[in-house]
Amino acid sequence: MPEAYEQHLVPVLFRPFADDLATRAAALRPRSVLELAAGTGVLTSALVDAVPAAAVTATDLNEAMVTVGSAREPRAAWRRADAQELPFDDGGFDLVVCQFGVMFFPDRPAAYAEVRRVLAPGGRFVFNSWGPLSTHGFDAAFQAALEESMPDGAPPFLRDVPHGYADPAAVAADVEAAGLTLAAAEPLTLAGVARSAASVADGFLTGTPVSAAMAGREDARDIRAAVARRMTDRLGTGPVTAPMSATVYTAHAPA
Domain-wise residue ranges, the chain: 2-252
pLDDT, one tens digit per residue, over 30-58 is 999 999 999 999 999 999 999 999 999 99
pLDDT, one tens digit per residue, over 216-253 is 889 999 999 999 999 999 999 999 999 999 999 999 99
**pLDDT exceeds 90 at position 4:** no
Q: Give Cα 191 to chain centroid, integer Å.
A: 16
Model pTM?
0.95
CATH of domain 2-252: 3.40.50.150
What order of strands is seen across the sheet that includes strand 77-80?
Answer: 77-80, 55-60, 32-36, 93-99, 119-130, 240-252, 181-194
